Amino acid sequence: MSKNVKAEKTFHIEIIETLSQIVEIVAEDEQSALLKAQQLYRNEQVVLDSEDYRDTKYNIFEWE
């Protein structure tokens, strides 16, 4: 039997894609602007797609 045989383990890999878009909002203050942006996003008036891609990260977790 070979001593170089390694036991395989199970890993969970988390893949995180970041999409980003800057939206111009006219509002009285920052809080109002944020609420308007959130509403636009929820109502699908702002939709992020592959053109808004910025980054991909990977997190690895050993599963026992």
pLDDT digits (tens, 9 = 90+) for 16-57: 999 999 999 999 999 999 999 999 999 999 999 999 999 999
Mean pLDDT of 2-27: 92
Phi and psi angles of residue 13, each rounded to the nearest 5 degrees, phi first: -110, 120
Half-sphere exposure of 34 (CA within 13 A, CB side): 3
- What confidence score (pLDDT) does residue 6 get? 86
Separation between Cα atoms, residue 22 and residue 37, nearest integer Å: 10
Does the pLDDT of residue 1 top 60, yes or no? no
Contact indicator for 20, 54 with CB cutoff of 8 Å? yes
Separation between Cα atoms, residue 29 and residue 19, nearest integer Å: 25
